[in-house]
Chains A and B, each alone.
Chain A
Amino acid sequence: MNLLLNIAVDGIAYGMILFMIAVGLSVTMGLMRVVNLAHGGFALMGGAIAHWLIEKGGLPFVGAAALAVLGTVAIAMPLERVIYRKIYGFGELQQVLATIGLTFLIIATIDFWLGSSLLGIPLPETLQRSVDLGFRQLTAHRMTVIVVGCLVILGLWALLERTRFGILLRAAVDNRDTASALGINTGHIYMATFALGAGLAALGGILGAELLPIDAYYPLRYMVLFLIVVAIGGLGSILGSFIAALAIGLVETAARYVLPDMATIITYTLVILFLATRPQGIMGRAS
């Protein structure tokens, strides 16, 4: 019984971190249909800026995190205008090559700026405390991630389904030509959505850093993780990514409790089996 509770708590906490680091990709690659392998690069940017602001600027965690997310958005917007606008029109393979190239650029820039060692993002005292759940301890940080994860999914749902921007975005994504013929400024919509994706990537990088620490090679190290979450969830579905992240978190955590030596093999085997039987993912539309 205790084991099941442990698996549930740790699985959800881990799954929520996976969701936080992948949700930005779910926006750019899922909604905007651009194979954005540079997603991890934006997460790295956010983490690196937060690290720099806290360590060198002496800012408190929350302020640094907010500024880092804004900073990443500020870098992403001109990037969208100059580079991504061209990438949208590419074929899938060219998108892969272009965005992986961008990833290498970001890695080299961070390496040049801050070096290739760990870039710690120290948490405030309140988030480091362990909270007693009765049968075990969980850190305040992980509970915060769970809460923020829930807020992000609710916020995105409201934004996409309940606002005018959401309607415009869905229209622009489904048929860009018709949307712009109807007078929708698709360029602005795309830029705003891309900025949202980059901002979420940065937020995920910062909040997930306790588990997936930031260093210059972050984007390459965890690229497979982001992609698995989005692929299992189904392209274009934020809810799908959410369910997928929690499922992967639970499966991997259960495997680590029961058969730690085999945990990676078990998880990836299940991923392969799932994608073989349902290639469009949990919530994806069959093509």
Chain B
Amino acid sequence: MKEFRMMTALAAVCTLGVTSAAADDIKVGVIAPFSGPFAQYGTQYQQAIEAYQALHGTTVGEHEISFIYKDVGGVNPDQSRALAQELLIRDRVDYLAGFTFTPNALAVGPVITQSETPTVIFNAATSAINKESPFYLRTSYTLPQVSIPAAQWAFEQGIRTVVTTVSDYGPGIDAEVSFKTAFEEQGGQVLDSIRMPLATTDFTPILQRVKDDAPDAVFTFLPGGPPTFSYTKTYNENGLRDAGIAFLGTAETEEVNLQGLGDMAIGLNTVYHYSPAHESEANRAFLTALTDLHPDAVANWASVGAYDGVHLIYEMVKATGSDGPAAIEAVSSLKWESPRGPLEMDPETRTVIQNVYIREVARDANSGLLQNVEKGVIATVGDLGWTQ
């Protein structure tokens, strides 16, 4: 946190000096949680941005690129909009970025449309956000983008009956609906769809019900951290694993909390777009840069979302400097090699088209740490939720 304050102070000082000096300075405002229970997101973004700048420098052509970090705290659309206005009017930023939660991203829609500011979403995963302004670009993913491939893959594996258990809020319901529709289209059967209240602490009754239904697999969507911990614990202890009911998830085994899950996570299957265990030159370069700067850093989807987001901003600056509409146009079908694999912008949805990987949690033989090992890939999936 101290580091973050210093960065902001530093950024503020730089800004002061620059407004009077070179006009050729490009500023990017990053709106994310840097304090409170979701501070991890802000940290992940900032670390990834620093890693990108360490690898690619802070200048593009004649433009010097700097980042201004603003703390939105948590789910707080009003604060998000206020920070966006402050960044645009007082700090005169040319680009906005960040946005962990859908309401925070949606809140800045009218502002960025008016100011024609390209805004790169690092995380918020509700498909409909990008319809609210032509200036949104997204380098994360959308829930249908991973849930639908999960359904198709499950069916290919011979899974015919599934019970879905999702946390009862926006993203959970998105995941349930996409999975169910896709799985039934394939000819599979969803025996039961349980929506679990967000306050659920003991998952035993729910998983006991799943066990009694005896499906081939249970599909789940849970917010990372404590709920995932209790859920997977109960999944193992109540004998669902032993009964051969396969676990199918998306982001549940994300890396920041993965070690905390311990051995009970081994063998869990998830369908998702990024694992730091991805074998590629680009990923190794990213991870090396990241851990050189921050030895304790753990990369997850939020880091790679930010890393690719910065790449997009660099490309926009390279093409047009700070001309918003032209910048969006310039990258509308950009292709590049990301740490997660090949990426391509979709000109219609302005969300990345990417590989989706089938992963299984296993212990790395060298480090002894748990990781998501990729064991299959579904190539180039776009935002499948756009037309829903």
In the assembled complex, A136 has its CB within 8 A of some CB on chain B: yes
* B-side interface residues, number (CB < 8 Å): 35
Q: Mark A212-250, 1 if CB is under 8 A from B, else 0.
A: 110111001110010000000000000000000000000
**A118 interfacial contact with B, CB 8 Å:** yes
Q: Are A10 and B199 also in contact (CB < 8 A) when A130-B239, A136-B208, A213-B229 are?
A: no
Give Cα A210 to B235, complex, Å: 12
Q: How far is the CB of A106 from chain B (nearest CB, A)?
A: 14
Q: Are A213 and B226 in contact (CB under 8 A)?
A: yes
- Total interface residues on A, using CB and 8 Å? 41
CB-based nearest B residue for A119: B260
Q: Looking at the assembled complex, report how far the CB atom of A270 sits from the nearest CB atom of chain B, in whole angstroms.
A: 15
Main secondary structure of the interface of A (DSSP, over half): helix
B233 touching A210, Cβ below 8 Å: yes
Query: Could you tell me the distance between the alpha carbons of A171 and B230 in the complex, rounded to whole angstroms?
Result: 42
B233 neighbours in A (Cβ, 8 Å): 210
Q: Which residues B153-171 have CB closer than 8 A to chain A?
A: 168
By a CB distance below 8 angstroms, the chain B residues around A220 are: 37
Which residues from 11 to 31 on chain B have a C-beta closer than 8 Å to any C-beta of chain A? none
Residues in B neighbouring A94, C-beta threshold 8 A: none
Shortest Cβ distance from A122 into chain B, in angstroms?
Answer: 6
- With contacts A116-B39, A263-B197 taken as known, whether A215 is within 8 angstroms of B205 at the C-beta atoms is no
Residues of chain B lying within 8 A (CB to CB) of residue A120: 229, 259-262
Q: Across the interface, which residues of A come within 8 angstroms of B202, CB to CB?
A: 10, 14, 17, 211, 252-253, 256
Specify which chain A residues have a CB less than 8 angstroms from the CB of B238 in the assembled complex: 130, 136-137
14 additional A-B residue pairs with CB within 8 Å, beyond A6-B205, A6-B208, A263-B205: A117-B225, A118-B260, A119-B260, A136-B208, A210-B233, A211-B201, A212-B226, A216-B37, A256-B200, A256-B202, A256-B206, A260-B196, A260-B205, A261-B168
Residues of A near any B CB (own CB < 8 A): 6-7, 10, 13-14, 17, 111-112, 115-120, 122, 128, 130, 136-137, 139, 141, 210-213, 215-217, 220-222, 225, 252-253, 256-257, 260-261, 263-265
Question: Can you give 6 contacting A-B residue pairs, CB < 8 Å?
Answer: A111-B39, A130-B239, A217-B37, A252-B202, A260-B206, A261-B195
